[in-house]
Structure 1
Amino acid sequence: MSSCCTPIKINIPENAKKIVLVGNPNVGKSVFFNALTGMYVDVSNFPGTTVDISYGMYGNDVIIDTPGVYGVSSFNDEEKVARDVILSADIILNVVDALHLERDLFLTQQLIDMGKPIIVALNQMDEAKKNGISVDVQKLSQELNVPIIPCIAIKNIGISEVKKNLYNARKGNPIEIVRENYRTYENSGIDPSEILLILEDDENVCARNGITNPPGLREKIYSERRKRVDQIVNAVVSEQYAQASFSAKLGKLMLKPVTGVPLLIITLVIMYEVIGVFVAQTVVGFTEGTVMDGLYRPFITKVIGSIIPQKSFLGSILIGEFGLLTMTVVYVIGLLLPLVIGFYLFLSLLEDSGYLPRIAVLVDRVLTKLGLNGKAIIPIILGLGCITMATITTRILNSRRERFIATMLLGLAIPCSAQLAVITTMIAPLGPLYIISYVIILIAIFVAIGTILNKVLPGESTDLLIDLPTLKVPRIDNVVKKTITKTKMFLEDAVPLFAAGSVGISILQYTGVLNIIQKLAAPLTTGWLKLPKEAANAFIMGFVRRDFGAAGLYSLKLSPNQTLVALVTITLFVPCIAATMIIFKERSKAESLIIWFGSVFLAFLIGGTLAQIIL
């Protein structure tokens, strides 16, 4: 077999048809592929990419699977591979999720606009029914002018009908703008299937066909296709709320501001009670206070101290105030680990239940005012786990502008789980007034900086397109597995840097450099922030890891107001080394420098202003 541009090494019998499976991610294509090919399946690496293509025989014809995509284009390797396989197809079996017709039919209509013979397997009809959604299959078939087979693939319902009708695939009704502009290239010798992609300004397809001046119709075609899909959905889909399952009804309530906001607040309150109260106070009180400080620290200090004097250079590094075997081990195991496990357990529950993407839809309007869309809530929530991981996740955002805004807000106003662990431990005993004040200050800064960036930076936020999986009870094994994996990743990332920071601070303390830095920073820490001179240690450690900086404040004797000032400042302070490296990798050098120095400036500006007001 060979596509119109890139050869794929598949042995195809003479006169055999190429039947290509196409669909959005997670629509059940694999079930159809296995049903059609049986055990005769092979995999080939698509040339020039790391993407594998599965294929097998169906009678004398070849079934080829494609990566799940939302559209035929050239934005990444998966889409390029899907595009070229689709362009080579004789028949397309398009698998569509009945629960998400408004999303999936965009791809269906694009395939129709390409002029390919198509048959549609309308899958997950049972999930649509559970959600109170009824689809008029006959009317949908008339609207698209292609065969539509209702299916529940995992229960083997509809599979035999798909097989019977596979060769009844036919060309559907293209949208008017495509029909009108198709004639421009009709007699040019260009492959008919590629004409649509030329009309949509696909750079790769235009280049290989010698088109130097694309028609510039992409946005207009996309807009008209979206309008057409919306018209079809309105015509064929009806909602029967009374017949929906409880989970479907609850899922809808989560999306409406009137009911969704209270449900979100309840969720966050439960999260705080579990992590901020039970884990941070009860569990950490035992692990850090009783086990680590009460038993481990005296033991390790006595054992190592009997061999190496504690006040010697090596002794200060191992068992000193900031020692590797004292502070590092006590904080990582006794303080951070229980809180990180608690946070990731809660996050995994939100993910596995299907609630997390619903939060994205709920907050979409709010985030749009900050130059983002609801999808940004995912890196924001992940940022509460790890800023490094969250920064990488900003790739899911649609524009460079959104990615910059999200990265800036992550680096500035979102405390990671490790830092949040220390902050929670310090602020929880102060009572609700200080907790609410801390949260309100951070939210105000988050909103203010996002709003300013939205006004200053050119462009607008993009529309939200996100999957809404069925709401379900989380599987305990999945939740536990995710929690263990993410906690392990945290330890692998945190422990070496925490240890490096410990050694660095111990050396600075032993050589007296720490005292010099404290004196130089005194006008800033004691004068502007009105904190003890030792607070300079925390900001120095904050350059290594955010939580390391917060941990540096933990042992200081601060008044409640000083604690609030210190925690606000250290939260706004620069991202840790790992996150900084990722920021410089993901963003341009200029953007990264703005984010880094902007965090330092705003941290001390806002922290100092707060100190002048309340101290």
Structure 2
Amino acid sequence: MQCHNMTEKIDINKEAKKIVLVGNPNVGKSVFFNALTGSYVDVSNFPGTTVDISSGRYKDMVVMDTPGVYGVSSFNDEERVARDVILYADIILNVVDALHIERDLFLTQQIIDMGKPVVVALNMMDDVKKNGIEIDIDKLSQELGVPVIPTVAVKGEGIEEVKEALDRARTGNRLPIVEENLRAVRHMVDEDSEALLVLEEDENIIARHNISGVKGMREQIYQARRERVDEIVKKVVHHTNRGASFSVKLGRWMLSPLTGIPILLVVLWLVYEFVGVFVAQTVVGWTEEVIMGEYYYEFIMKTLEPLLGTESLLAQLLIGEFGVLTMTPIYVFGLLLPLVVGFYLVLSIMEDSGYLPRVAVLTDRSLNLLGLNGRAIIPIILGFGCVTMATITTRILGSRRERFIATMLLGLAIPCSAQLGVIAGLLGPLGIKMAALYVSVIFIVFALTGTLLNKVVPGKSTDLMIDLPPLRLPRIENVLKKTYVKSKVFITEAGPLFLLGAVIITLLQYTGILDLIANGFAPITEGFLKLPRETAVAFIMGIIRRDFGAAGLNDMVSRGLLNSSQVVVALIAITLFVPCIAAIMVIFKERDWKEALLIWLGSFAISFLTAGIVAQVII
């Protein structure tokens, strides 16, 4: 027996009982280790790894510490070392962070499933009280089937009780699925603990015992264990406001739909006021129109126009209406950069304060209907600043399916801040009914498209797995660093793509193809959408830059070419229309060309179909 015992290779008393400390990272195991062993500590290098194992004595027993792990498996050196020490322990002292009990009990239940005598030290109970949480210790002990001792290790509270409980360590309540299947593999290994890992498809244990032909049950056991832990937590953990700080109460209000939705609306309003009004209008008005539009533009034109003229292809490419030395830097540095910095500043504040994860949890159930999880709220919020930036941010989503759905919805139904300002200016004089019609149509298209994609796009979206950090005041250093890094990455990636788009548009204009495209749109514009022929030009300009298209409509309104109903139809079309050329280029970069083409053509079809239906009803 125990011919595979890896602890035999460590310099400890082989005859003594082994107490092994086990827990997730940062749960306070070292405090218990020091309390048990005092100053008599030895450190040994675990064979074949760079991981050290601390050991000492408590009474006539050997105490061994293990690296912090979230599960007993073989994914890295720390987990392999922890596994090999735990497998052959006589008593397990499992240290659990009481504030994160739902996370930590997964490891606890796995150790219990191994059949080891266990004592649970439920540590950091002071944090639990500060957060207005009550844990029924007796009920938890009953559910697990092992002694559970509440502790605050750093203050020495509960340490003596833990020492006394070590003599009462016992095997706990295994999962039924483990009990039912353990016998089939028990004879193949030396220990019950090894038999469990065979069922959980641990390749190292299977190879160690030369086992073959055993059907693994890892996914089934993990699922059953997760469900059992969730069931235990529901029975023993109770959230109250008694003793909770204001930040804890506020954090809970943010998660409840009744209070969380109004808080979210207020936050979004503040974000819009800062990014959509102050940055997009005041700051951009200075950077785009004054610094880049006057000083930079005049310098470039005075320097290069005498050399290149204005009519040649080279002149058009460099200093023309869409030139790489005129519109491109003015757009990227005058408009995009302030918006990007402003939005990433807000996002970093929301993230560093702990609010953003709560928004993800609050919106998770609603976004599930669209094939997304709560994490998708981040690119959606970003989209109201800049769809190009938001498209890049879809990388945070967990599956290709989610990234496709999110990119489609961003390109289709989320107007950027540059466009929103012009849209708000056009809708304002039309009254509340027309504004409500516009908003309702865009929202319905957003919801229906997402729901449909959720049903037809193959695959399965990922669940939201997210830790909720405590609410806190953001650290200025962290916020500024995140803002700088993310803004730099965005400009580095999006700038060259926009430059390429500017070259393409210039060539289309120089060759006359742009006018042909505009004329090609005219029959649809005049017939199905019931709009003047000139509206097609605004649509084309909207591809170059979204607010250019909206501004073109504004010019038509000022000339009396559009009535109120036509304004709403045109705004619906140009909002649902494909995003600007920079966003299109990023979509083709982030998705493969088939998906990008589907998103692009799909936006065309949905835009004109929706606007046409509205036109038939109201015009």
What range is the shorter-chain TM-score in?
A: 0.7 to 0.9
8 A contact 2:539–2:574 mirrored in 1 = no
- Residue range with higher mean Cα deviation, 520-529 or 241-250: 520-529
Distance 1:34 1:339 in 2: 53
8 A contact 1:96–1:104 mirrored in 2 = yes
Q: Tell me the secondary structure at the aligned position of residue 566 of structure 1.
A: helix
Distance 1:550 1:124 in 2: 53
**Letter of the aligned partner of 1:144 in structure 2?**
L
Distance 1:254 1:239 in 2: 15
Q: Return the offset for 1:156.
A: 6.5
Q: What are the Cα deviations for residues 279-325 of structure 1, in whole angstroms up to 9, with x where unaligned? A: 22222222222332233222221122233323333322221111122
Whether 1:422 and 2:418 are equivalent positions in the alignment is yes
Which residue of structure 1 lines up, in the alignment, with residue 575 of structure 2? 567
Which residue of structure 2 lines up, in the alignment, with residue 57 of structure 1? 54
Q: Return the offset for 1:180.
A: 3.2
State the structure with more CA Rg.
2
> Identity over aligned residues, as a percent?
43
Which residue of structure 2 lines up, in the alignment, with residue 589 of structure 1? none
- Residue range with higher mean Cα deviation, 441-450 or 416-425: 416-425
Q: Return the offset for 1:601.
A: 3.4
With the length of structure 2 as denominator, give the TM-score of the two structures.
0.77
Q: Return the offset for 1:359.
A: 1.9
- Residue range with higher mean Cα deviation, 414-423 or 189-198: 414-423
8 A contact 1:145–1:173 mirrored in 2 = yes
Which residue of structure 2 lines up, in the alignment, with residue 581 of structure 1? 589
Which residue of structure 1 lines up, in the alignment, with residue 346 of structure 2? 346
Query: Among residues 396, 402, 427, which one is paired with 1:393 in the alignment?
Result: 396
8 A contact 1:360–1:377 mirrored in 2 = yes
Which residue of structure 2 lines up, in the alignment, with residue 410 of structure 1? 406
Q: Tell me the secondary structure at the aligned position of residue 466 of structure 1.
A: coil
Distance 2:375 2:412 in 1: 19
8 A contact 1:124–1:152 mirrored in 2 = yes
With the length of structure 1 as denominator, give the TM-score of the two structures.
0.77
Whether 1:214 and 2:210 are equivalent positions in the alignment is no
Q: Return the offset for 1:117.
A: 5.6
Q: 1:40 to 1:200 in 2, by over 3 A?
A: closer
- Residue range with higher mean Cα deviation, 274-283 or 519-528: 519-528
In the TM superposition, 1:159-558 aligns within 5 A as 171-189=171-189, 192-200=192-200, 210-212=211-213, 214=215, 216=217, 218-219=219-220, 221-222=221-222, 224-226=224-226, 228-378=228-378, 380-381=380-381, 386-395=389-398, 403-404=400-401, 406-414=402-410, 420-431=416-427, 439-456=439-456, 464-520=464-520, 523=523, 530=531, 532-535=535-538, 537-538=540-541, 549-550=545-546, 553=549, 556=552, 557-558=555-556
8 A contact 2:118–2:147 mirrored in 1 = yes
Which residue of structure 2 lines up, in the alignment, with residue 50 of structure 1? none
Distance 1:150 1:609 in 2: 63
8 A contact 2:151–2:159 mirrored in 1 = no
Distance 1:355 1:178 in 2: 39
8 A contact 2:374–2:464 mirrored in 1 = yes
**Letter of the aligned partner of 1:410 in structure 2?**
A
Q: Tell me the secondary structure at the aligned position of residue 307 of structure 1.
A: helix
Q: 1:32 to 1:305 in 2, by over 3 A?
A: farther
Q: 1:213 to 1:481 in 2, by over 3 A?
A: same
Q: 1:13 to 1:363 in 2, by over 3 A?
A: same
Q: Tell me the secondary structure at the aligned position of residue 89 of structure 1.
A: helix
Q: What are the Cα deviations for residues 246-286 of structure 1, in whole angstroms up to 9, with x where unaligned? A: 11111222222221221111221222222212222222222
Q: Return the offset for 1:460.
A: 7.3
8 A contact 2:550–2:574 mirrored in 1 = no
Unaligned runs of 5+ in 2: 58-62, 558-566
Q: Return the offset for 1:133.
A: 0.8
Unaligned runs of 5+ in 1: 48-52, 543-547, 585-591
Which residue of structure 2 lines up, in the alignment, with residue 545 of structure 1? none
Q: What are the Cα deviations for residues 152-202 of structure 1, in whole angstroms up to 9, with x where unaligned? A: 57x666697799699877654323332232222211236533432444566
8 A contact 1:339–1:417 mirrored in 2 = no
**Letter of the aligned partner of 1:422 in structure 2?**
A
Alignment: residue pair count: 575
Q: Tell me the secondary structure at the aligned position of residue 447 of structure 1.
A: helix
Q: What are the Cα deviations for residues 483-513 of structure 1, in whole angstroms up to 9, with x where unaligned? A: 1111111111111111222223223333444
Q: 1:463 to 1:288 in 2, by over 3 A?
A: closer
Distance 1:277 1:476 in 2: 23
Q: Return the offset for 1:109.
A: 0.8
Q: 1:32 to 1:493 in 2, by over 3 A?
A: farther
Which residue of structure 1 lines up, in the alignment, with residue 564 of structure 2? none
8 A contact 1:413–1:571 mirrored in 2 = no
8 A contact 2:383–2:416 mirrored in 1 = no
Q: 1:99 to 1:177 in 2, by over 3 A?
A: same
Distance 2:316 2:582 in 1: 27
Q: 1:28 to 1:339 in 2, by over 3 A?
A: farther
Which residue of structure 1 lines up, in the alignment, with residue 563 of structure 2? none
Q: What are the Cα deviations for residues 93-150 of structure 1, in whole angstroms up to 9, with x where unaligned? A: 6553322323331232123213356554534433321221123446544543556565
8 A contact 1:129–1:244 mirrored in 2 = yes
Q: 1:189 to 1:273 in 2, by over 3 A?
A: same
RMSD of aligned residue pairs (Cα, Å): 4.5
- Residue range with higher mean Cα deviation, 352-361 or 483-492: 352-361
Q: Return the offset for 1:342.
A: 1.6
**Letter of the aligned partner of 1:13 in structure 2?**
D
Q: Tell me the secondary structure at the aligned position of residue 96 of structure 1.
A: strand
